[in-house]
Amino acid sequence: MIRIIQWTLASIFTLFILTACVNVAPGGQGYTIAIPMQTINSTVGSNFPQNQKTSYGTLTINKPNILGQQGGNKLGLGTSFSFANMFIPNGIKGAVSLSSGVRYNASDRGLYLANPMIDNIEVHNFALSKYLTPEIKNMIGQLIAKEVARRPIYHINNMGASLVKGIGVENGNVVVTLGL
């Protein structure tokens, strides 16, 4: 039994070494693995663009870009969007930036953004921005945050999922702590 566990751990860590940085977790309680941002952005990008119909109009969320914030324990996320309704048929384009932590869903082995907060919303079509009330701007930001948080940013493989002991953002990197 111990040999099977050792072989399984060796296989998992070999796989992770090939794709990420591995360190001993503080206190010796396992190993931490940093997931490359390129891999995270590839996973997120496969779920976008997304169209959301609301009572105010249709919001299109383009492919987001997730960045680690050096020295921080949050991820930064930026995406562009367009919003159109019957009064603004050509739409208003803009960008939103969010900051977020990370959470793990054991049932689907997915990492998700946790409680994304709106940092900034910019509207590029300034001539049309007068049609956007603060309520609509807030609705756009909240809808983008909610939609992005529903989509996984990474999936942990079947063998590694049972060994997950913790998830977090450290120094701008998404890290997974594995242990027995």
pLDDT in tens, 76-88: 999 999 988 888 8
Share of the chain above pLDDT 90, in %: 17
In the numeric block, the tokens 């060994």 are attached to 163
Helical residues (DSSP H) of the chain, grouped into ranges: 2-19, 37-45, 134-150, 158-161
In this prediction, residue 158 has a pLDDT band, given cuts at 50, 70 and 90, of low
- Structure tokens that stand for 81 in this block: 């969007």
Interatomic CA distance for residues 19 and 13, integer angstroms = 10
Q: Is 154 exposed, middle or buried (0-12, 13-18, 19+ CB in 10 A)?
A: buried
Smallest Cα–Cα separation from 140: which of 85, 87, 69? 85
In this prediction, residue 109 has a pLDDT band, given cuts at 50, 70 and 90, of confident
State whether residue 133 is helix, strand or coil: coil
- Taking CA atoms, 15 is separated from 30, 82, 92, 110, in Å, by 16, 40, 45, 18
**Of 71 and 38, more confident:** 38
In order of their start, the domains of the chain are 2-178 (3.15.10.40)
Smallest Cα–Cα separation from 81: which of 51, 104, 44, 38? 51
Task: Supply the pLDDT for residue 19.
Answer: 46
Smallest Cα–Cα separation from 79: which of 121, 37, 115? 121
Q: Say whether pLDDT at 21 is over 60.
A: no
**Of 169 and 180, more confident:** 169
Between 3-17, 32-46, 131-145, the lowest mean confidence (pLDDT) is in: 3-17
